[in-house]
Structure 1
Amino acid sequence: MALARILLALAFLLALLFSIPARAEGANIQASEQDGYGRLIVTFDDPPEVTAKIANGIIVVSFSKPADFSAEQIQPGLSTFVSSARRDPDGMGIRLALSRAVKINPVEAGEKFFLDIMPENWKGMPPALPAEVIADLTKRALDAERIKKELARAQTLPPATMQVSAGSNDSRIRVTFSFSDKIEVRFKNEGRRGVLTVPGNTVFDLAEARAALPPEITEFSGVTVGNALVVKFAAPEGQELRGSQEENAFVIDIAAPGSFEPRASVAPPPQEDKKFGEIAEIGGAIEEHDGDFAQDAVLIPPADISKPSIALEKSPEVGPATATGPHDAKPAAAEAAKTAPELATQSPEQHAAELAAKQSAHAATPDAPPASTQTRRQGRIQTSEPAADTAHAPQPAAVAPAAAAPAATPAPAKPVANVREAIPPAPAETHDPASHAAAEGPVPSEPSHGPELDAPILSKAEQALKDFADSAVRYGVQLQTNEGTLQIAIPFEKLPPAAAFIRGASVFAVFDGNPDVDVAKIASDSNGLITAVRKTQTVSGSALEMSLSQPRLASLASSGQTWILSLSDTILEPTRPMQLMPTFNSDGRTALQVKTEGVGLVHHVPDAQVGDELLVVTLKPPARGLVRERDFIEFGALATAQGLAFEPLADDLSVKTGSDSIMLTRDKGLTLSLDAEPAALAPIQLKPGSPFAAEAWRKAQTTSQEAINDLARAAAAAPPEGRTKARLQLARLELAGGNAAETKGILDVATAESPNLADDPDVKVLRGTALVMLRRFDEAVKVLGSGTLSNNGEAALWRMIGEAGLGHLGLAREAFREGEPVLDAMPPDLQRIFRQTMIEVAVAAQDFATAATQLDALDTLGVTDGWAAREVMRGRVAEGFGQSALALEAYRRAMESGNEEARAEARLHAINLRYKMQEIQRAEAIKNLEMLTTDWRGDGIEADALASLTELYRADERWRDAFATMRTAMTYHANETSTRAIQDEMTAEFAKLFLAQGADAAPPTLESVALFYDFKELTPPGKKGDELIRNLADRLVEVDLLSQAADLLTYQVKNRLTGAPRAQVAAHAAAIELMDRKPGRALNMLHDTRISGLPSELVRNRLMLEARALSELQRPDLALEMIAGYSGDDVNRLRADIQWAAKRWQSAAEALELMLGTSWRAAEPLSDDTRKDVLRAAIAYALAEDDLGLDRLRQKYSGKLASTPDQATFDIVTAPAATRGADFITIAKTISVSDTLKSFLDDYRKRYPESAPPQVRTSDKPQDKTAQL
């Protein structure tokens, strides 16, 4: 009966154990960027199967079972490759949105999963695992192999035998169990009784053991139970026993109580084998059984009761009946079922009031501490969860939060005195979030002492909105309808930027990220207002397109972690309006800009109804958008409740976002009407006293030099109070006369004497204008852009020239637009300067319409000065509009003028246009540009001409001329835009020549090598440059410059590379050293770059090279030892070569024959290399005087070598020793000293194409492309 009770208890515990739901395994995430790649490491508590793939720009990592982890640190650690990272809601994977094209290398290593993210252009082996990981895996493999061998040994060895011997004296008896081999022994001691358990296959003679025992021991039995042999025995009455483990023996001492010295227990260690732990328990159960055991007795093994989810701790407060505690919830559940109809008839307000009253009464009772306090006082684990059939109901208000106790630990609980108070009913279906909050709001476990004084006071509407949002956080997407208004609450873990708008009969809601939205619920619970919901995943988020059955207005509001979309006849949440303002890009092209905060991402959202795609920009709260639609030539801007939405009409429309701005533009700029505010841009008069007023400027220009000198003398002699005014008047006259340096000097003296003058707006304008005339544009822009001149039109126009001089085309156009209203009030010669500069800026920005407008304005002025330069601009504008004939005519007029600068510029543009029109061939265009660069030097015209000439050289593949011309431009015109552009292009071409393959690459000739060394400053930085150097090394090898190639790679190994890439390049360099007959340097290179954790293929590669180097250094034994653990054709050849080089002819012949394999049976003829190996094997057998081997070789290959060029040689070599003549000696000498390195390198190249150097070219016949280098 005792055994039956044990088995029932174990079965009950097992049932409880398997009823506990599975939990997600823990995992730890590490993400970091290393040498050009990113690495994600996931460490699992219990490793699942992991797969990784790339789909649509997203890396999907999937697990075979859920894992609990946080993905927040992934994106910051992999920001170069990953734009966002998300954990799947079910914990079954990770999704990484890529910001660039990559390739991945997933590796599972024990409980760790490594995902290496490499650029798409990654070359060579993937990154190696950390050394410590490889070491750990190696140790595990060795341990597994050891255990496997021990198990195999245990299965093959005969079973151990156990013998019993005994001895005694006056005070104690000793019984010794001796074993023939080391086995597992378990001993259980209970006073005078003991149970010894050993493996069931142990040989044991029970009768012989009983005969060896002293007569005092009367109880001694043994029985086999399952896989265990159990021996029971007892000490004489009044005595006790103790057991101890010795070498291949177990000793039992029997003596009177208290006579044993205290020592450590012999109980099994905590990490004992589970199976043997079961055996020990069986042994304990046997002792309590009253009957005898049969040989085939079968016991149910006990459950593993060490799981923390089952509480077995004894408590004086818990009687035997508490073992069925978890079942006590059934009466409570039944009672709850009885009372549920009654509670369901209560309104949410009544039920909330009833609960509040009961909680107040409960809090007022001092003898009723919170449930969590009661649990702590009882000193045992308890749970107050409802039974399984009521688990879906909300938690009772009087119970502490579930997190206060382990949720999976069943334990006895007190009977529920009042079921109605403990288990409130499930709420009836309603869209009112207030009812959810009233019925299920959490109640604190401590007594309440009144409302929180710091809590914000919310209006009724605000509180309702908050309750609605809170219900969405708890239950997912919620909908509610009130007087024709539908509200949809969508919760998030963290509130993302969003956008919402209506287009046609559809409402769109767009979010950053991928929320888990129940689209079916939105359609079904909308009371027919929403007929269909379509969720679309965008690159950076998701979009909901909801079809409406009736017209509605949309508004979007936020509360906590929830976005609430409202569809009504009126706007519930007013949208703060945003403005689209015209502006310019940094390259001067027109754009539209919106200045705002909290900018999110740009989404490409398809419209299923219309069939097009919208560009949507999300924003953070509060609600901001366009209050009305705007139509433009290239796009349409939709009215929005939140964010921005654009309908592209041009294919190249792009939307760019910044932290506080959104910009729309095209490759050639938007077509906009920049005078959107005519009142602000209407012509205005200059303020009185302005030095740039037409009449004042004319008078200043006509002032004679004598009058200016008189004014200078008067200013010098004037008293201090009148000196400043005289100096300012003198500065105006000098400025109008074009004397900028004199103007600046006068102002410097005046401001030094009167420091307050420095902040005077008129003085700032005069100083800034002088600095512009002196071409000190950076200083001029700072002076003219200061705060006191922010609304000064004259300053804006002069600042426009400064910005244009600095190449800031967008800022120059902005400055011109600020100053344009005062332009007509200025004198014609200044208007010419400003308008002509604006023409140049507009042409550079390819805004030919604005340039044409300014040209017309200049023609209207009738100013003759600078007409030749205007003709050049007129030709540029005509060329921009595609009017080539008019452009060439304008250039012709400029070339006929007396303005040398205009003539040179016109020649340049005319040559380029005529070549583009194919009026002249490339050779003639090159000749004309060469003449132009010889005739005209020293400014931007020469820089542009050199850039055009470089382009033509490149098109003609005259690389040396192209690079030399580019270098000239960089030397003399480094700051010109055309020079910087051509430098970028030629740097890319240089890299392509030495990185590309095929026709785009420079041929492997000395001319190519010389080209690199002459222009090596164009080598790109970083990894791309390192790869270029390695390609160059291969070109050096091909032209037999082996030392130079090895030196290049050696520098990279010592100074540029680390880890596995360093080891791989070192192998490459070592192979080149071997080709150069320098095995010592090759061996040193390999030794200096040894590291652990390399890929196995790379390790094999390096060992092959090292063995070959050792063979070349006459160390054959060590070389053979290096490759002893490897096999394959290349290893067989290397092994044969090592034996051959060591003149170990017998071993060499056998290795060569083994390498030849069954080639003698093949139907196809033997190759040249195979015939050579046959001859080498024959020579080796002959030199080893192995006639049997020679005969065997002759029988195999005589037929295959018949009618081949090697037939005669083979016959001589394989002839009997007595018949060999002088010819054999000649052949043997020739072949025995033959070089085997070439064959080794050929095999090496076949197996390791990425690490092997190329072959040296035997002929160097220049190709056409080479001749042009």
Structure 2
Amino acid sequence: MTARLPSIVALLLASASASPPGTRSAVQSGTSNAAAGPGDRARVAVKPALLPFSPHLSNLPLLTTPQGWQRAGRRGWEGLIAAGPADRQAARWTYANAAIADGRAQEAIGALDVMRQDEPDLMLVPAFRLALGATLAMLDRATPAVDALSTDALAGNPEACAWRILALARGGLPGPALGQVRCAVPALNARPANARAPFLLAAARAAADLGKPALTIQLLETIPAGDPAANLLRGRATIGLGDDAGGRLLLGRARQSGDDGQRIDADLSLIEVAARAGALGGQDKATLRRIRFVWRGDDIEVRALRLSIDLARRAHDLPATLEAGATLFRYFSGGADRAALVAELQQTVAQLLAPDSALPLDRIAGLYWDYRDLAPAAAAGDLLVSQLADRLQAAGLYERAGELLDHQLRVRTRDLAQGPLSARVASLFILAAKPARALSALRDTDGYAYPDEMLWNRHRVEAIALDQVGRTAEAMAVLQDVPDAAVIRAEIAWKRHDWKTVAADAPPPAGGGRLTTVMQARLLRYATALAMLGREGDLAQLRVRYAGAFTGLPTAAAFAALTDAVGAVDPAALSAAMAAIPSASPAGGIADLIDAAPGVVRQN
């Protein structure tokens, strides 16, 4: 029978729970107004209107002590069962009052919510707001409780002040909570000791949060000496007054007689005392780790996190500082001093990314990725990330560097600034043999009208990525408007051993100056393509035109071997000649990306 009580309460409190004698509701008859036909409409009961209750409630005396909440006993149930439209709201009010008097907040809120839905004007009545605020405070719904109790008519009401203490203290507003104590004294004194304790504990906790140990102890004077919750506060306050031994004794008593949460609270309080005294031992640190592992979601965890941050800061342990600080920031909005915590964590991230950081580079990159939401904002943060990407690239960790900057590209960079950054991200993914991700970085940022130079640079990188995924025709089309398209096409062809395309790029006539390294590479590549294609006439012309220019150069032997008659070429000499071709490329820096292509399809 007990398990069915909530559903019975819901049925009794619902607006449609009772109909005038002799009528059947739509629910009872198995029909609804929407489904009933024209001939059935007369048989569908119309919900009778309730008589307004707010005028009557406004004329009743406003209670100021807990004795005003009247216990109704069985009359509450019987009144709900027998109530008709004329007195249904009054029956609900009697039931809610009885539930508040008995501490049955869940039942009280059900009755009050139904009353408010049927009659919104009740929120204008101080007595109703007091009942609603008290119920919400009992349910630990601090913000709506304070809102319900915040009306001029309840400003000096002792009972309302008592409930405001509870709501404000639990809502993290210790100063306003203590401000209600003087007003609440008559209502607190009218309660028996056990009923008064939650209010005094809330006020004492507020005093402790404000750093007022003497007031904390004073507020707890009437609570029994064996109460573990009170002893936790007394112990910390006693230590705050300079009596460490007495405080530890009180915390030990709380640990001995309290529940699981109170024992953990006592353990944490003792660790806090040891940390302030600089006497934190290995066992204390192990206990702190255990507390953080087993306890979640309230002030105990917040205190454990703050203590962990303080200990990590003293030890100059950047990863531990970030771990505890990030937990406090992400799950508790930073606590009471959010701005200071954010500033400290941003500074910690900056120290982590600094070039002189002692941590290994891969560890730095992993930590930054885990705590990237805590990085410094604006240009300072972007510079740190760019420098870290440079270090990762220099170490050959191209994919990690690309992921790092890809996050910057998609989360922190806007407008035209995406142009050069997207090209760099794509370049890193190409170097990491991830051309599909390179294309994604470029295609996802193509919604702006970039300047020509910026656009051409993006096209160069895009063409290389397209070539790497086997879409060479598209790559050549992308290069159509790029000024140095011919050089890039030739570089791609050389990488693919596409000798016909390489041979189509005939070098200019020899000048009178010395051949540069780039020009030497271009000529030797051209000669290699002609040799592979067996074009002896063109090789002979090339030898006549450039033999003198190669005289005295380290590549002279390679040029002679490549331009010799095809039938006279020694395969070993030809291989050696190709290996001697200078690494300098006519395509400049873009050649590094082309050379990074894995497993290209080779054409002969």
Q: What is the TM-score when the length of structure 1 is the normalising length?
A: 0.31
Contact 2:66 2:159 in 1 (8 A): yes
The aligned residue for residue 962 of structure 1 is 323
Separation in 2, partners of 1:1124, 1:889: 82
Residue 419 (structure 2) aligns with: 1063
Contact 1:781 1:799 in 2 (8 A): yes
What letter matches 1:1225 in structure 2?
L
Residue by residue, what CA displacement relative to the aligned partner does 1:1076-1131 show, whole Å, maximum 9, x if unpaired? 67999979987997899756764675576579789996999997984469xxxxx9
C-alpha change, 1:876 and 1:854, in structure 2 (3 Å) is closer
Name the residue aligned to 1:628: none
Deviation at 1:811, TM superposition (A): 3.7
Match of 2:304 in 1: 945
| Structure 1 partner of 2:578 | 1229
1:914 aligns with 2:274: yes
Aligned residue for 1:998, secondary structure, equals coil
Query: Post-superposition shift, 1:853?
Result: 2.0
Structure 2 vs 1, CA of residues 878 and 1135 (structure 1 numbering), >3 Å: closer, same or farther? farther
Quote the Cα distance in structure 2 between the aligned partners of 1:1076 and 1:1235.
22
The code of the aligned residue for 1:769 comes to A
Provide closer, same or farther for how the CA distance between residues 763 and 1043 of structure 1 changes in structure 2, counting only shifts above 3 A: closer
Q: 1:928 aligns with which of 287, 293, 301?
A: 287
Counterpart in the other structure of 2:164: 799
SS of the equivalent of 1:896 reads helix
Query: Structure 1 CA distance, aligned partners of 2:515 and 2:91?
Result: 107
What is the Cα deviation at residue 911 of structure 1?
Answer: 1.8
Q: Conserved in 2, the CA contact under 8 Å of 1:1116 and 1:1138?
A: no
Q: Which residue of 1 aligns with 2:202?
A: 837
CA 1:966–1:990 in 2, change beyond 3 Å: closer, same or farther?
farther
Cα distance in 1, alignment partners of residues 437 and 127 from structure 2: 76
Look up the match of 2:146. 781
Uncovered stretches (5+) of structure 1, i.e. residues with no partner: 1-686, 701-706, 1126-1130, 1158-1169, 1199-1208, 1245-1253, 1257-1269
CA deviation string 1:56-109 (max 9, x = no partner): xxxxxxxxxxxxxxxxxxxxxxxxxxxxxxxxxxxxxxxxxxxxxxxxxxxxxx
Which letter maps to 1:911?
Answer: I
Counterpart of 2:349, as a letter, is K
**Structure 1 CA distance for aligned equivalents of residues 477 and 326 of structure 2:** 59
**Cα drift, residue 905 of structure 1:** 0.8
What is the aligned-residue identity percentage? Answer: 25
**CA spacing shift, 1:1149–1:739, aligned 2, 3 Å:** same
Tell me if the contact between 1:1116 and 1:1139 (Cα under 8 Å) persists in the aligned partners. Answer: no
1:247-286 matches, within 5 Å, as none
Whole-Å Cα distance in 2 between the matches of residues 1228 and 877 of structure 1?
A: 87
Equivalence for 1:414: none
Q: Is the 8 A contact 1:1145 1:1180 kept in 2?
A: no
AA aligned to 1:914 is A
- Asked if residue 852 in structure 1 is aligned to residue 214 in structure 2, the reply is yes
C-alpha change, 1:946 and 1:986, in structure 2 (3 Å) is: farther
Distance verdict in 2 for CA 1:996–1:1047, change over 3 Å: closer
Q: What's the CA shift for 1:801?
A: 0.9
Deviation of 1:799 (Å): 1.1
Shift of 1:1186: 3.7
The 1:934–1:991 alpha-carbon spacing in structure 2 relative to 1, beyond 3 Å, is: closer
Q: Deviations over 1:39-70 (max 9, x none)?
A: xxxxxxxxxxxxxxxxxxxxxxxxxxxxxxxx
Q: Distance in 2 between matches of 1:688 and 1:1240?
A: 84
- The structure whose Rg is larger is 1
In the TM superposition, 1:149-548 aligns within 5 A as none
**Structure 2 CA distance for partners of 1:734 and 1:1018, relative to 1, 3 Å:** same
Residue 1061 of structure 1: SS of its match in structure 2? Answer: helix
Shift of 1:814: 3.9
- SS of the aligned residue for 1:1005 comes to helix
- 3-state SS of 1:918 partner: coil
Cα offsets for 1:311-362 (capped at 9, x unmatched): xxxxxxxxxxxxxxxxxxxxxxxxxxxxxxxxxxxxxxxxxxxxxxxxxxxx
Structure 1 match to 2:261? 901
Q: How does 1:13-52 map to 2 (within 5 A)?
A: none
What secondary structure sits across from 2:65 in the alignment?
Answer: coil
Of 251, 264, 282, which residue of structure 2 is paired with 1:891?
A: 251
CA–CA separation in structure 1 for the residues paired with 2:119 and 2:426 = 76
Write the distance in 1 (CA, Å) between the matches of 2:112 and 2:447. Answer: 71
2:65 matched residue in structure 1: 691
Distance change (3 Å), C-alpha of 1:1074 and 1:907: closer
Deviations 1:489-520 (A, max 9, x none): xxxxxxxxxxxxxxxxxxxxxxxxxxxxxxxx
Whole-angstrom CA distance in 2 between matches of 1:719 and 1:1144: 101
Which residue identity is paired with 1:868?
P
- Shift in Å at residue 907 of structure 1? 0.8
More helix by share: 2
Equivalent residue letter for 1:1071 = S
How far off its partner does 1:796 sit?
Answer: 1.3
CA distance in 2 between counterparts of 1:1220 and 1:1072 reads 40
Q: Is the 8 A contact 2:385 2:404 kept in 1?
A: yes
- Please give the alpha-carbon distance, in whole angstroms, between the structure 2 residues aligned to 1:1155 and 1:841: 86
Match in the other structure for 2:589: 1240
Once the 2 structures are TM-superposed, how far is the Cα of residue 1019 of structure 1 from its aligned partner? 9.3
Contact preservation (8 Å) 2:166, 2:177: yes
2:521–2:584 CA contact under 8 A, matched in 1: no
Q: Which residue of 2 aligns with 1:992?
A: 349
CA separation in 2, counterparts of 1:719 and 1:1107? 81
Report the CA distance shift for 1:1241/1:776 in structure 2 as closer, same or farther (over 3 A): same
- Report the Cα distance in structure 1 between the residues aligned to 2:432 and 2:116, rounded to whole angstroms: 75
> Quick one: distance in 2 between partners of 1:1005 and 1:745?
56
CA separation in 2, counterparts of 1:746 and 1:1086? 60
The one-letter code sitting in structure 2 at the alignment partner of 1:907 is D
Can you list the C-alpha shifts for 1:810-849, whole angstroms capped at 9, x where unaligned? 44344345445876676555554333312212333xx323
Cα 1:1152–1:1043 change in 2 (3 A) is: farther
Shift of residue 1134 of structure 1?
Answer: 7.6
Q: 1:858 to 1:1239 in 2, by over 3 A?
A: same
Structure 2 residue identity aligned to 1:962: E
Q: Classify 1:883/1:1097 alpha carbon distance in 2 versus 1 (closer, same or farther; 3 Å).
A: farther
Distance (Å, rounded) in 1 between the aligned partners of 2:444 and 2:114:
70
* Aligned counterparts of 1:915 and 1:709: Cα–Cα separation in 2: 53
Cα distance, 1:743–1:1042 mapped onto 2, change above 3 Å: closer
Matches within 5 A, 1:736-755: 738-740=103-105
Q: Conserved in 2, the CA contact under 8 Å of 1:888 and 1:910?
A: yes
User: For the Cα contact (< 8 Å) 1:869–1:902, is it kept in 2?
Assistant: yes
Residue of structure 2 in register with 1:72 after alignment: none
TM-superposed CA distance for 1:1243, in Å, is 8.7
AA matched with 2:574: I
**In the alignment, is the contact (CA less than 8 A) between 1:1148 and 1:1180 conserved in 2?**
no
Q: Is contact 1:875-1:886 (8 Å) kept? A: yes
| Matches for 1:1088-1103 after TM superposition, within 5 Å | 1094=450, 1098=454, 1101-1102=457-458
Matches of 2:444 and 2:119 in 1, distance apart? 72
Whether the aligned pair in 2 keeps the contact of 1:796 and 1:818 (CA below 8 Å) is yes
**CA 1:1231–1:963: 2 relative to 1, 3 Å:** farther
How many residues get paired? 510
Give the structure 2 partner of residue 396 of structure 1.
none
Q: 1:817 to 1:1191 in 2, by over 3 A?
A: farther
* CA offsets 1:128-160 (integer angstroms, 9 cap, x no match): xxxxxxxxxxxxxxxxxxxxxxxxxxxxxxxxx
Alignment-derived partner of residue 815 in structure 1: 180
Partner Cα distance (1:1243, 1:1098) in 2 = 19
For the structure 1 residues 737 and 1019, does the alpha-carbon distance in structure 2 shift closer, same or farther, using more than 3 Å as the test? same
What amino acid is aligned across from residue 323 of structure 2 in structure 1? A
